Amino acid sequence: MHIKEIVLDGFKSFGRPTRIPFYEDFTVVTGPNGSGKSNIIDGVLFALGLARTRGIRAEKLTDLIYNPGHADGSGEESTKTKEASVSVVLDNSDGTLDRSQVINAAGTDNVGDVEEIKIKRRVKETTDNYYSYYYLNERSVNLSDIQDLLAQAGITPEGYNVVMQGDVTEIINMTPYQRRGIIDEIAGVAEFDAKKDAAFEE
Ligand code: ATP
Ligand code: MG
């Protein structure tokens, strides 16, 4: 399974709908400083519900909404509803997730073709509140549905599917025991250790 494309709309520096294709093996994003490369990664973390643990660069969710005056702080606060959305399209043609797993997460068998799994998140800001929505193949779901589904494909908030700036240095500075923890996490053993500990406590 791999990310096939990302569509950002009203998210951070992406004021217009922007579609970014990803190749199966390797994709590089280049551009000048401040052009929005890291914002793409923030978009992935936002959409997949990994933001809290993997350190998305925003203080609050609504800071992620495109603000034309962001760079110089001149942004006029408009009174109309503002919103941001990011879709992450996963290529599941290798059958990493089977249809029943997707149906289970979506809570309906009306999930379309599961060769493609589209996870979308929206955040909407009104004058006095904000709302966050998740979708799985266009069906409205909860964050936990997304997280449970992704975990079955080995994508977890604690996992190292996304290696952030500073992570490599952190790993180098770890004790061998801490480093072993990462290997357990990647190998999928950590989950069982946690369950074992929980079972012993009962
Ligand atoms: P570098 O090469 O320095 O790492 P980068 O390409 O990774 O740069 P980003 O950090 O992705 O750049 O983008 C930073 C830009 O995003 C800044 O210009 C900032 O003003 C803009 N930006 C961040 N949040 C918003 C927002 N809510 N609305 C509009 N622009 C935003
Ligand atoms: Mg950057």
Q: Is 37 annotated as a binding residue?
A: yes
Reported as a single tens digit per residue, the pLDDT across 12-57 is: 999 999 999 999 889 999 999 999 999 999 999 999 988 765 667 7
With b for 16 or more beta-carbon neighbours within 10 A and e for fewer, the 112-128 pattern comes to eebeebbbbbbbbbeee
**N- to C-terminal Cα distance for the chain?**
37
Sequence-separated (6 or more) residues with CB below 8 Å from residue 92:
1, 114, 115, 116, 117
Q: Is 10 annotated as a binding residue?
A: no
- CA-proximal residue: ligand 1, atom 11 (nearest): 36
- CA-proximal residue: ligand 1, atom 13 (nearest): 36
Indicate whether 164 pLDDT > 60: yes
**Complex ipTM value:** 0.97
Residues counted in the chain:
202
Indicate the top mutation candidate among 11, 14, 38, 59 to test ligand 1's pocket, ranked by most ligand atoms within 8 A of CB: 38
Give whole-number Cα distances, 172 to 75, 158, 169, 193, in Å. Answer: 41, 18, 5, 24
DSSP 8-state code for residue 29: -
How far, in Å, from the CA of 196 to the mean position of ligand 2?
A: 40
Ligand nearest to the CA of 29: 1
Which residues have CB under 6 Å of ligand 1?
A: 12-13, 31, 33-39, 63, 65-67, 70-71
pLDDT value for 189: 81
How far, in Å, from the CA of 167 to the mean position of ligand 2?
A: 14
Residues 69/75/80/82 CA torsion (nearest 10 deg) = 50
- 177 pLDDT band, cuts 50/70/90, is very high
**Other residues' Cβ atoms within 10 Å of the Cβ of residue 169:** 9
Angle at 140 between CA 139 and CA 146, to 5 degrees: 90
